Amino acid sequence: QRKIESYTRFRKSWSWSSKLREIAHLWFEDRQGSCLLVYDNADSLDDESDPYFVDLQRYLPDVPGVKIIITTPSQTATGMTELQAIEVGKLAPAEAVDMFMRCSKLGDAAGSVRRETALIVAELDDLALAVTLAGAYVAATPRIRSNLVDYLPEEAFT
């Protein structure tokens, strides 16, 4: 209800991005308890002339209980917080496969499943967050767990 009332008070001159940003901030303010916001692949934080540039500070809610993870190659993000940045590199391919297998609950499967998993993590560029999220999605989606190969692009086999 509060979100709708606030939305109706918006001035017509505001841009849609401003309206959407305000609605998102109100949503976070209304949350009970804590929550996690992941802003993945924030790759264009440095160059305002870049067509993909994002002024991330405008979109990050300053609300108690909201924890934020930003993945980016840019050092600019380190200035957005007083907390120490944690640098995470790519996983070694074998580590990425093992992590995906654990997160997807495929266990110690071998053979074709392990080969398919290697193709998946390669598509994800061996990035830990992407591998973890994909694995968790596979674990929660039985139709995918039963046949990983159906969800790989055809060019992965060439």
List, for residues 71-100, the tens digit of each pLDDT value. Answer: 888 888 888 777 788 888 899 999 999 999
Of 132 and 29, which is predicted with more confidence? 132
Cα gap 114→57, rounded to integer Å? 41
Half-sphere exposure of 72 (CA within 13 A, CB side): 21
Q: Is the confidence at residue 47, as pLDDT, over 60?
A: yes
Residues 131-147, mean pLDDT to the nearest whole number: 87
For the segment 65-69, the average pLDDT, to the nearest whole number, is 85
| Residue of 65, 72, 62 whose CA lies nearest to 36 | 65
| SS3 call for 115 | helix
| Range of lowest pLDDT (9-13, 18-22, 97-101, 122-126) | 9-13
Q: What is the mean pLDDT of the chain?
A: 80
Task: Work out the average pLDDT over 41-62.
Answer: 83
Asked if 129 and 86 count as a contact pair (C-beta separation under 8 A), the reply is no
Nearest to 54 by CA among 26, 74, 34, 25: 74
Residue 96 pLDDT: 95
> What contacts 2, CB < 8 A, 6 or more positions away?
26, 30
**Which one-letter amino acid corresponds to residue 148?**
L
Maximum mean pLDDT: which of 6-15, 39-48, 111-120, 132-141: 132-141
Distance CA 62, CA 135 (A): 30
pLDDT value at residue 42: 82
